[in-house]
Amino acid sequence: MRRTTRRLADGREIIYFDADPASPPRRAEDLRELSPQPGPPEMRRDPLTGEWVAMAAHRQDRTHRPPADLCPLCPSAPGRLSEIPESDYEVVVFENRFPSFTRFPGSGTPEPSTDGPGPVERAPARGRCEVVCFTSEHSGSFAGLSSEQARTVVDAWADRTAELAESPGVEQVFCFENRGEEIGVTLHHPHGQIYGYPFVTPKTDQYLRTAREYERRHGGNVFGDMLAAERASGERVIRESTHWTVFVPPAARWPVQVMLAPRRHVPDLAGLTDEERDDFAVVYLDVLRVLDRLYDTPMPYIASWQQAPVRTGRELCWLHLDLFSVRRSADKLKYLAGSESGMGVWINDVTPERMAEWLRGL
């Protein structure tokens, strides 16, 4: 694979990933006149939960459902300049123009302050937000990629995971894809995002606490033991391959939810071998195509890579992709109502065993 780094007109980084090192070089310049990037957003720690919340008011102005001929993720063409200066590309990653977390001079994590009223800590929202374009084709989805194209995306994810982990102040790297207007997608071009957070996320922090307690009590890895039990039972397993297992989690929160996990204990995407990456590309495309057949309509989903934090708990975390959908039937969506949104107590409308049976049948 060949990796080419360039700069956009406002100084943001753009990186092209080409599977064939002999592909034409990436030399196109960004000819747009762009305003300078805004200063770093602020983040505030909730004094009641201890969780950080980013305040990024500039995101109100981000691009919202543009027509196809004005898509900012398509390649540039005469009279239509986009975020990607090249006239074509395979996979490209660039810094988000409307980031929730952003890089700025200095090193280390800024010390929070309590300058405002009350016990609310504040700090600059240092980090990194990137956009990942899976293909130059505007129409389609990840499921429409070839296994070779999907493998290039995996390599891009792994590359960004490794590099962002070395960035000052980044504590966790999160690669994800939102698909479908039901999820809230505002750009229909097949793409995902990568966040470099300046803290360990609340979900991962809770996972680490549970994993440490499980290890203390049972002497094993909680995800590894769960995966072994699922493979032994097979009741919720959808597919097995040489290196990956696809299953519905035993306490699934969403009506459609599947996990893809490597059989080997790996902390993050950068740790996957070439064989594991090849195998994942084939298995994941099959899973996505099955999901689109479940209700005979494109499945809206969030696909989120659960990776180990950069500096803590790496031995406890087991890399896996958690994919879930708000669609609970062909014509119904699951809304996070009182119990889920108000108290964080989930109620699933479909049992994991039933969903696994349906998906296996496809």
pLDDT tens-digit profile of 167-189?
Answer: 988 999 999 999 999 998 989 99
Confidence at residue 198, expressed as pLDDT on a 0 to 100 scale: 96
pLDDT at 109 over 60: no
Domain 2-200 has CATH 3.30.428.10: yes
Report pLDDT for 209: 98
Domain 203-361 in CATH: superfamily? HIT-like (3.30.428.10)
Block residue for tokens 């099959």: 286
- Residue 267 φ then ψ, to 5°: -80, -30
- CA 232 remoteness from chain centre: 29
| Gap between the Cα atoms of 80 and 216, Å rounded | 59
Question: What pLDDT is recorded for position 321?
Answer: 98
Cα–Cα distances in angstroms (integers) from residue 122 to residues 11, 43, 58, 100, 111, in the given order: 27, 6, 18, 15, 9
Which distant-in-sequence residues (6+ apart) come within 8 Å of 51 by Cβ? 45, 202
Q: What are phi and psi of 322, to 5 degrees?
A: -105, 115
CB count in 10 Å sphere of residue 61 = 10
How many angstroms separate the CA atoms of 334 and 345, rounded?
Answer: 14
Q: Would the pLDDT of 300 be above 60?
A: yes
> How confident is the model at residue 69, as a pLDDT?
86
Mean pLDDT confidence for 151-172: 96
Q: Is 129 annotated as a binding residue?
A: no
User: Is the pLDDT reported for residue 34 higher than 80?
Assistant: yes
pLDDT of residue 107: 47
Tell me, what's the pLDDT at 60?
A: 62
Tell me if 133 sits within 8 A of 75, measured CB to CB. no
Determine if residue 71 is labeled as part of a ligand binding site. Answer: yes
pLDDT at 104 over 70: no
The answer on pLDDT for 314 being more than 80 is: yes
Distance of CA 283 to the CA centre of its chain: 18
pLDDT one-digit tens code per residue, 66-75: 788 899 999 9
Calculate the average pLDDT of the chain: 94
Catalytic residue chosen out of the listed positions 58, 64, 188, 191? 191
**Mean pLDDT within 240-250:** 98
DSSP assigned state of 97: S
| pLDDT average, residue stretch 36-63 | 84
Quote the CA–CA distance of 147 and 19 in Å, as a whole number. Answer: 12
Confidence label for 106 from pLDDT (cuts 50, 70 and 90): low
What pLDDT, on the 0 to 100 scale, is given for residue 118? 73
**Helix or strand or coil: residue 189?**
coil
Known active-site residue 243: no
% pLDDT > 90, the chain: 88
- For CATH 3.30.428.10, the residue range(s) in the chain are 2-200, 203-361
> Does the structure show a pLDDT above 80 at 117?
no
Instruction: Give the mean pLDDT of 272-299.
Output: 97
Q: What average pLDDT does this structure show over 26-36?
A: 94
> The whole model's pTM is what?
0.94
